[in-house]
């Protein structure tokens, strides 16, 4: 109950402050956020973080599959194989890449 009351109070404060700021402030914040997102340094950092995430996810996949491998039900193993084959079997994806 305490958390619900805190949430409702925060919601009310946010609403009051947001309505006082008005549409102009909203548009100003939106423009600033867009400029930050389009900054090459920010884009490069996000791309680097995405690549590291994919690298660690791939390592984790191999560690888990080595430990669980033969204990995994055949239906699950077959499903994973079919998904990997459908993806091209390379293990790569376009998550976090800037295809612009």
36 located within any domain: yes
The answer to the question of residue 95 being in a domain is no
Query: Which residues contact residue 96 at a Cβ distance below 8 angstroms, ignoring those fewer than 6 apart?
Result: 46, 47, 49, 50, 51, 53, 54
Is residue 36 within 8 Å of 42, Cβ to Cβ? yes
d(CA 14, CA 6): 12
Locate the DSSP E strands across 1-100.
none
pLDDT at 96: 52
pLDDT at site 24: 82
Query: Is residue 97 one of the residues assigned to a domain?
Result: no
In a domain, 67, yes or no: yes
Q: pLDDT tens digits, residue range 25-64? A: 778 878 998 999 899 999 999 999 999 998 998 888 788 8
pLDDT of residue 11: 85
| Rounded-to-integer distance, Cα 44 and Cα 46, Å | 5
- Domain assignment present for residue 51? The answer is yes
Residue 60 structural domain: 2-86
- Residue 68 falls inside a structural domain: yes
Residue 96 lies in a domain: no
The verdict on residue 100 lying in a domain is no
């Amino acid at each position: 109950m305490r958390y619900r009351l805190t949430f409702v109070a925060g919601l009310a404060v946010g609403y009051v402050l947001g309505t006082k700021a008005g549409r102009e402030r909203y548009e100003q914040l939106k423009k600033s956020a867009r400029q930050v997102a389009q900054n090459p340094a920010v884009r490069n950092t996000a791309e680097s973080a995405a690549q590291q995430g994919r690298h660690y996810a791939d390592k984790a996949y191999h560690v888990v599959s080595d430990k669980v491998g033969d204990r995994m039900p055949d239906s699950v193993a077959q499903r994973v194989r079919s998904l990997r084959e459908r993806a091209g079997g390379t293990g790569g994806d376009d998550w976090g890449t800037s295809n612009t």
